[in-house]
Structure 1
Amino acid sequence: MPTDTILTSLVRRDWLTDSSLKSVITDYIEALRDQRYAERTIRIYLGCLAHFSFWLKAEEEKFTYIDSTLVKRFLREHLPTCTCPAPCYGNVGSSGAALRHLLKLLSCSQLLSPTAQNPVTIELARFGDYLTGTCGLRATTRDRAVQQVGAFLTQAYGSGAPNVSQLSATDIDAFFAALSSRLRPASLRIACNSLRSYFRYRALLGDATAGLAAALPRVADWRKVTLPKVLSDVELAAFLNAFDHTDPVGLRDYSIARFLLDLGLRGHEVAYLTLDSINWRRAMLTICNTKSKCVQQLPLPATTGEAVAQYLQQGRPQTTSRRLFVRHRAPFDKPLSVAAIRNSMNRAFVRCGLRDRFCNTHVLRRTMATRLQRSGVSIKEIADLLRHKSLDTASTYARVDMEQLRAVALPWPGSQQ
């Protein structure tokens, strides 16, 4: 279908063709076609861009200032209370997807001016470079820390230039008071660590941040007083039976589940596996994108290898990507993201009726470690397999074998003998 035909049939096309986005419409459509999006999806995304363009014009925003902050404002503030003339596309999911493609296009074509970045954005970019170059953090860990520090700096300074000397313990208390209403203790601890890293970074630049670091709250850690949540044998069997082996996506997701269960891989480690990661003759798996940034090799269990072989032969689509697990729907020729892997496991939990008890991928890693411990494997061996740097991290699995613990437990004083 020609590009002009898509625009001709588009509702509110004048909002798009008469806007500052008109210069990128053709490139936008071609980019979506290159990723094999359906024509209907392209039309919906263009409708979302038209709505966004109309809002930009009403807000009198300039084209060079389109960034992720502006997009979030449109999605979170405008769409829930939209009063634009009907008909217009107001779906948050479709609008978010359409605008993510727009931001990627603007970034690749350098249409987004670097001068549009505010002082907080520049500060966060430098902090991110410090986390990567000096601290050696992975991209996902770095981005999470940058996001949390960005929220703190935006709350403290708005769009103004950050000045650490103006911060006080009151600013920190106000930030965590807002977070505590929507975050769990584990997430609050991560936020504390992110701000502590930022204060350490500013201290290296000569700022006095010892008082600010001391003002960070100490969040109670209750993880060591409870047993790790894992799947029982019956639940594990139900989970593995929740995958459709006659469907290509089911074969892919089952292979992912085997990597998580048999080898205890993390979600991002599975996402970065390639066709070259498996040595079929030696039955070895090479993991390159580990949390410690070290290349590690693990033996490939027969069950895992059989699941992967079946997926490669019967399920994996034709693609130019060398990643082992790829998307089965547009955008094609793209690797499966960590979020997509997490969602595929969550859908399996829904199908087997365990969604109210389990979610995410890490429970499968814990299940593998617990099963090893109960079979007599030492904590040192479990730590090596899980690639833990410290034995303390794996020591939680020493508390899961209740029968052995009862055998060594002393009688409680005053109890009946």
Structure 2
Amino acid sequence: MIQELFVFESTRARQCAAPMLREREEYLDYMARQGVGRSRLRSMAAMLLNIVRFLELESSRAVSIEELQRGTERWLTEPGPRTARRPTKVSGMRFLLTAKNWLRFHNQLTIEALDPGPTEIIVRGFAHYLSVVRGLAPETTRIYRTRVSHFLEWALDRRASLSVISLSDVDDFILMKRASGYLPRSIVSFCGAIRMFFRYAEERGWNNSHIPLNLRGPHIPRYLSAPKGPTWKDVRRLINNKTETPVELRATAILYLCSIYGLRSSEVVGLRLSDFNWVSETFVVHRAKRGRVQQFPIQFEVGEAILGYLQRGRPQCVCRNVFVTLRPPYRTVRATTLWGIAADRMKKLGITSENYGGHALRHSCATELLRRGSSLKDIADFLGHRDMRSVSIYAKYDLKSLRQVASFSLAGVK
């Protein structure tokens, strides 16, 4: 690998003479297979030389976080053999991150296992209860875990134990959140997570304050006067993209899936290449809630957008998810990335909406289905809801469409 990366013999000789050549080449070869370019590989190889020098590594051995931090300080303060370095935060972070990744690759980074505090132990058990016993989606479990962890850290600073936390403590916490600027929907989310946690705590006899029975969040009208997503005319503008850059090709394919099929962000990022059958022109979606699998026909424009991304925008990599990052090392995009993709294009086009992001397009899809005459049951099935209660909100937006007609056609979205 070193011979392939560098042209000058002096550079090759310096790289080959330094300790741990085999370990450095194995890591560089791995990064090359992940799609990292030659320029970045050369930069990484040069940094690995500095890591070996400032950590005083002669052979493969375990390195602690504390030793890494000391090596980073030396890297920032001691002059190099050829050029002087300016101690900046960026250069220090680059040294530390490269060293961590390299040592983790060889399983030589030792991290002292911290004894988890009582709060962390309780929250871990609660998260297991949510995902395994209650069967909640991973994203819902993550949100509930974060909310409850935040509350317990605050509450256990005021109270000696979980058993003496009362409803008045929860009220004080909610008032504190409201005073710090949290919106009503966020307060409702906190109330829901705390209510669920104290049900879990009561089942185990940890608290008998009857908090779940008495905790009420702020009232938010279920049926608002305006749709939460953009109009269907604006959705057409959103997906009608002619730019051929990898960024725009990926964004267009994602927006088609969110708006035409009403997929959740986690369902879009969970799509794998094997989920698409281009012969039968169908694809399957693994629903985020309850783990159901649902099959859809590939609508023509959606298929063209996805193929355009796969052929001209998606990098070749070992990751089997459809949507991957644009820069190496390539990996699946996060669900939170989709919010930015949708919101950025909506704002760029001047599209106004109560909500932004992929979920706003899911609302637009449901509203358009209803406008075209689909029944609430058909919409619930199409969007992957368990019953019609979740989609009854859209009836408020188009009362004339509440009639039983033929199923909605996906053709002609433009």
Q: Structure 1-normalised TM-score?
A: 0.71
Structure 1 residue 366: Cα displacement: 0.9
Are 1:321 and 1:335, in contact at CA under 8 Å, matched by a contact in 2?
yes
Structure 1 residue 404: Cα displacement: 6.7
Q: How does 1:42-61 map to 2 (within 5 A)?
A: none
Q: How does 1:290-301 map to 2 (within 5 A)?
A: 290-301=288-299
Q: Distance in 2 between matches of 1:345 and 1:353?
A: 12
Structure 1 residues 41, 233: CA separation in 2 closer, same or farther (over 3 Å shift)?
Answer: farther
Structure 1 residue 327: Cα displacement: 0.9
Q: How does 1:314-353 map to 2 (within 5 A)?
A: 314-332=312-330, 334-353=331-350
Q: Distance in 1 between matches of 2:238 and 2:116?
A: 47
Are 1:267 and 1:341, in contact at CA under 8 Å, matched by a contact in 2?
yes
Question: Structure 1 residue 267 and structure 2 residue 259: aligned?
Answer: no
Q: Which structure has the greater CA radius of gyration? A: 2
Find 1:390's aligned residue among 377, 387, 391.
387
Tell me how many residue pairs correspond in the alignment.
345
Structure 1 residues 214, 32: CA separation in 2 closer, same or farther (over 3 Å shift)?
Answer: farther
Q: Which residue of 2 aligns with 1:286?
A: 284
Please say which of residues 130-139 and 218-227 is displaced more in the overlay. Answer: 218-227
Q: Structure 2-normalised TM-score?
A: 0.71
Q: Which residue of 1 aligns with 2:200?
A: 201
Structure 1 residues 125, 288: CA separation in 2 closer, same or farther (over 3 Å shift)?
Answer: same
Q: Distance in 1 between matches of 2:31 and 2:161?
A: 42
Are 1:288 and 1:294, in contact at CA under 8 Å, matched by a contact in 2?
yes
Q: Distance in 2 between matches of 1:336 and 1:404?
A: 37
Structure 1 residue 216: Cα displacement: 2.2
Q: Which residue of 1 aligns with 2:253?
A: 255
For each residue in 1:340-394, what CA deviation from the matched residue of structure 2 results, as whole angstroms up to 9, or x when unmatched?
2221112211221226755111111111111111111111111111111121111
Are 1:251 and 1:307, in contact at CA under 8 Å, matched by a contact in 2?
yes
Q: How does 1:5-404 map to 2 (within 5 A)?
A: 36=36, 38=40, 87-89=87-89, 111-158=110-157, 163-180=161-178, 181-241=180-240, 243-332=241-330, 334-354=331-351, 358-401=355-398
Structure 2 counterpart of 1:378, which letter? Answer: S
Are 2:258 and 2:358, in contact at CA under 8 Å, matched by a contact in 1?
yes
Are 2:148 and 2:193, in contact at CA under 8 Å, matched by a contact in 1?
yes
Are 1:153 and 1:162, in contact at CA under 8 Å, matched by a contact in 2?
no
Are 1:342 and 1:360, in contact at CA under 8 Å, matched by a contact in 2?
yes
Structure 1 residue 111: Cα displacement: 3.1
Structure 1: gaps of 5 or more residues: 3-25, 47-61, 67-85, 406-417
For each residue in 1:176-235, what CA deviation from the matched residue of structure 2 results, as whole angstroms up to 9, or x when unmatched?
112223322222212111111111111221234352223423320213143322322442
RMSD: 4.0
Q: Distance in 1 between matches of 2:387 and 2:184?
A: 22
Structure 1 residues 297, 119: CA separation in 2 closer, same or farther (over 3 Å shift)?
Answer: same
Structure 1 counterpart of 2:342, which letter? Answer: M
Structure 2 counterpart of 1:390, which letter? Answer: D
Structure 2: gaps of 5 or more residues: 3-23, 49-63, 69-85, 403-414
For each residue in 1:218-262, what CA deviation from the matched residue of structure 2 results, as whole angstroms up to 9, or x when unmatched?
320213143322322442233223x45311221111011110111
